[in-house]
Amino acid sequence: MTATATRVLVLNSGSSSVKYQLLDMRDGARLAAGLVERIGEGTSRLAHTPLATGGEKRETEGAMADHEAALKAVAAELAADGLGLDSPQLAAIGHRVVHGGLEFTEPTVIDDAVLEEIERLVPLAPLHNPANITGIRTARALRPDLPQVAVFDTAFHTTMPEHAARYAIDVATADRHRIRRYGFHGTSHAYVSRKTAALLGKDPSEVNVIVLHLGNGASASAVAGGRCVDTSMGLTPLEGLVMGTRSGDIDPAVTFHLKRVAGMSEDEVDELLNKKSGLIGLCGDNDMREIRRRIDAGGEDGERARLAFDVYIHRLKKYLGAYSAVLGRVDAVAFTAGVGENAAPLREAAIAGLEEMGMAVDADLNDRRSDEPRLISPEYARVAVAVVPTDEELEIAQQTYALVSA
């Protein structure tokens, strides 16, 4: 790497999509960002925003048969802005990898052996890791000389103590099949817990934080002195909070019942719990804005939306209570991601009635809109309640750059 190489390309490869951002690590500035959708589905779409020049978003449509075609198209867009993958200023490519199992506790420079390890984890994340691997292979083929780093969604949670990570099932069976609680959204939980400490003017080692990452997927984590001690997602991202389309915690016997009594197949149960449950299952909508609109409009439809909202809030409160007990002392609760950052009524409802636990929300502070980390609790509250926008791409870029510039 040359001394002038200060840029990192962050790639988040899904099964039919690639999201990317190019950042300059001298100041974290975003030079370009974009998204390719519907890869391998006939007409693919690439939306590219050249942020460095302040140019307009450019959208192109065309057939992109696979990730290689998609990445080549991305590379061409970047090159058109003078930011091509062949630029000597590019220091590394950082890849988001969903599952790192117990093997990967830190961001890791990718070589053939690392790639093989990530492949061995495919049975644990059959929907995600294969797409991540394809993204890595393609990027390596385009720039074989450039360091490529894998940043794992599970890594931050590998500090969970054994008693939090274990399911109470037969140990031999669990170990044979690597069944345990891994947790996800780790990059976000790491970033937000650190930012929350900074907001309080403290070092992460001095504070205990409950992070509520509430996006379409949602998870909570208990972070003690900068280390994750519990998180709500488990073997897969299905466990825990009520989400946009996932049920979160559920009696596992419901799945036996769905098969034995309702006659559903394995795949149908999977689809029901992952795609047709949560908010969308409860009221037909998974967007919190639409749910609030229906509640405000009232009537029978509003009641259905209200029930979904209430189930969501009830689960959140249970996790706030559980993680307060796990941590013993809570210094801060941080709301983040699409719902957590934007839905003020939801934050108010989640914290309402928790004064005895030292938690309260100031209505005016809560309603104020900002892109900056901010406190929304009144001064008298023992626990700081905060809104802390997450930035997974920046975190991936920083971890990648730290590794390759060390």
Would you please indicate which residues are annotated as catalytic (active-site) residues?
153
CB 339, min distance to ligand ADP, A: 4
CB 217, min distance to ligand ADP, A: 4
Q: Which of 40, 84, 130, 215 forms a contact with ligand ADP (CB under 6 A)?
A: 215
The stretch near ligand ADP (CB under 6 A) out of 61-69, 154-162, 212-220, 224-232 is 212-220
Site for ligand ADP in 171-200 (CB under 6 A): none
Q: Dihedral sign for Cα 119, 124, 125, 127, please.
A: positive
Q: What is the distance between the alpha carbons of residues 242 and 346, in angstroms, rounded to a whole number?
A: 13
Q: What is the distance between the alpha carbons of residues 71 and 177, in angstroms, rounded to a whole number?
A: 35
Q: Which of 75, 229, 339, 349 forms a contact with ligand ADP (CB under 6 A)?
A: 339
For position 98 contacting ligand ADP by CB under 6 A, the verdict is no
For position 287 contacting ligand ADP by CB under 6 A, the verdict is yes
Taken as a whole, the chain contains a residue count of 406
Could you tell me which of 349, 359, 365 has the C-alpha nearest to residue 327? 359
Q: Can you state the angle between helices 392-404 and 186-199, rounded to 10 degrees? A: 90
CB 261, min distance to ligand ADP, A: 32
Amino acid at site 379: E
Nearer to ligand ADP, 98 or 207 (CB): 98
The stretch near ligand ADP (CB under 6 A) out of 21-29, 67-75, 294-302, 334-342 is 334-342
Q: Which of 14, 135, 217, 389 forms a contact with ligand ADP (CB under 6 A)?
A: 217
Scan for tokens 């009232």, then name that residue.
298
Q: For residues 334 and 388, is the Cβ–Cβ distance under 8 A?
A: yes
Rg over CA atoms, the chain: 22
Site for ligand ADP in 341-400 (CB under 6 A): 342-343
Token pair, residue 297, equals 């409009």
For position 274 contacting ligand ADP by CB under 6 A, the verdict is no
Residue 20 φ/ψ, nearest 5 degrees: -145, 155
Q: For residues 42 and 63, is the Cβ–Cβ distance under 8 A?
A: yes
For position 271 contacting ligand ADP by CB under 6 A, the verdict is no
For position 278 contacting ligand ADP by CB under 6 A, the verdict is no
For position 313 contacting ligand ADP by CB under 6 A, the verdict is no
Binding residues for ligand ADP (CB under 6 A): 215-217, 244, 286-289, 337-339, 342-343
